[in-house]
Amino acid sequence: MGENKKLEEIIRELFHQNTEGEYWDFKELPYFYEGQEKSEINKKKNDLLHDIICMANNLSNHEAYLIMGISDNPVEIIGVEKYLNRWSQENYLDFVHSKKWAGDYIPSLELRTIKNGTGAELDILVIHKSSRVPFYTKEKYQSVKPNQIYVRKGAKNTSINKQAEIQDIEKLWEFRFGIVPYPKERVLNYIKDIDSWIKMKSSYEGMSWYYEKFPEYTLEFFDDPENEDFRPPPFALMQTNARSSWHILRVKYHQTILLEFSAHYIDETRGIAVHPKSAFLKLFASYTKSEYVNSYYYYFEDSPEINLMWLLKSLNNHDNGALSKHLSMIPIFENSQQKESVEKLINNGIEEHQKLVFESKEKCYVGYNNNLSGEDQEYARIDMATTLMVKAALDKYKMEQFYQ
């Protein structure tokens, strides 16, 4: 997915929350544009520096967004396209770098302009996540005080004439000193660092790797003897080659298991799929064709399951084919709110979506090397049909949200 497309989806989701939050803030107007009085420009510079410090020091330690072109009360898209000569990324960077920062640690910024479905432009000042928090300046700038730590907590900035609360400042220093995140949280970032995993062992039983920067973190992929006689899951049977096998995937810190998943070779051994999560609808609660299922598979974006699959693809030098086909069949939600919205739409249109399940079944094809009877192949197609319908419903929902 392109960077702008990904950002558009993030901002759209934040907009639909209908409120500001701990790492995003709505601004009806751009900070700077043609025609402003000098006094207003000076005030906006004061506000901008305070906003940047607060958002860089958000207590979620999350990438933060100053979203220009959306009003906050009510939350409405106004757009910034009518404002000429708005500040560019270079202007924002020059402004921030002109200040004296403690430790010479400067928040990392990026200005991006996106459009919504109606053509309205939004300027997004992205403040990148950093382990160098807390950020604060060494010299006074207008009302922004030196050596004073401001934070973003909930949907509020620390008042410009006050210091953040001591427990909030302590939390930021914990991020700086690596006390937090804890091992399980840290490894979620490490599995995205694809080039830093080194193979330890490879045999007919399985494989293992360690994380080069912190070798106490390891990854294991090995046979699952308890499930070896089970039929492959339906998503594996839909690959070109339906031969598959059950495995266990573990991420460990020393000897402690931080994450554990069922996983499968797919398309024989051309790819590895981490077993998706499952959820249930109300489509067939009273339907006479009881062989159709209410359950479906899904993932969340940027989840451990997704990131581990991309890591394993790279570590095993697999091509894109098997994994790309797998991900094309499974709905991938941005978050639980989006999942709930799609489920509500489906459950409120039972008859329409039942028909879509039937149509989806006709698009399912079990691959060769499946070793299944004709009846079992039919059941595999039925088991997969609801998932394909949810995937189509999610794609439609995203498109409709984009053009709202």
Share of the chain above pLDDT 90, in %: 84
> pLDDT tens digits, residue range 120-138?
999 999 999 998 999 999 9
Kindly report the number of other CB atoms within 10 A of residue 57's CB atom: 29
What integer pLDDT is reported at residue 47 of this predicted model?
A: 98
Please answer whether residues 215 and 343 qualify as being in contact, where contact means their C-beta atoms are separated by less than 8 angstroms.
no
What integer pLDDT is reported at residue 2 of this predicted model?
A: 59
> pLDDT tens digits, residue range 364-404?
999 999 999 999 999 999 999 999 999 999 999 988 876 65
What integer pLDDT is reported at residue 211 of this predicted model?
A: 97
pLDDT at 290 over 90: no
254 DSSP assignment: T
> pLDDT tens digits, residue range 86-120?
999 999 999 999 999 999 999 999 999 999 877 89
Alpha helices of 348-373 — where are they, by DSSP H?
350-362
Amino acid occupying residue 168: D
pTM for the structure as a whole = 0.66
What integer pLDDT is reported at residue 103 of this predicted model?
A: 96
What integer pLDDT is reported at residue 403 of this predicted model?
A: 60
- In DSSP terms, 271 is beta-bridged to 266
Give the CB-side neighbour count of residue 93, counting CA atoms within 13 A.
Answer: 8
Query: Cα 239 to the chain's mean position, in Å?
Result: 26
pLDDT at 181 over 80: no
pLDDT band (50, 70, 90) for residue 244: very high
Give the CB-side neighbour count of residue 298, counting CA atoms within 13 A.
Answer: 26
What integer pLDDT is reported at residue 292 of this predicted model?
A: 82
Give the mean model confidence (pLDDT) for residues 328-334.
Answer: 96
112-133 b/e with 16+ CB inside 10 Å = b? bbbebeeebbbbbbbbebbebb
What integer pLDDT is reported at residue 235 of this predicted model?
A: 97
What integer pLDDT is reported at residue 4 of this predicted model?
A: 78
- Give the CA distances from residue 14 to residues 28, 181, 254, in Å, rounded to whole numbers and listed in that order: 15, 24, 38
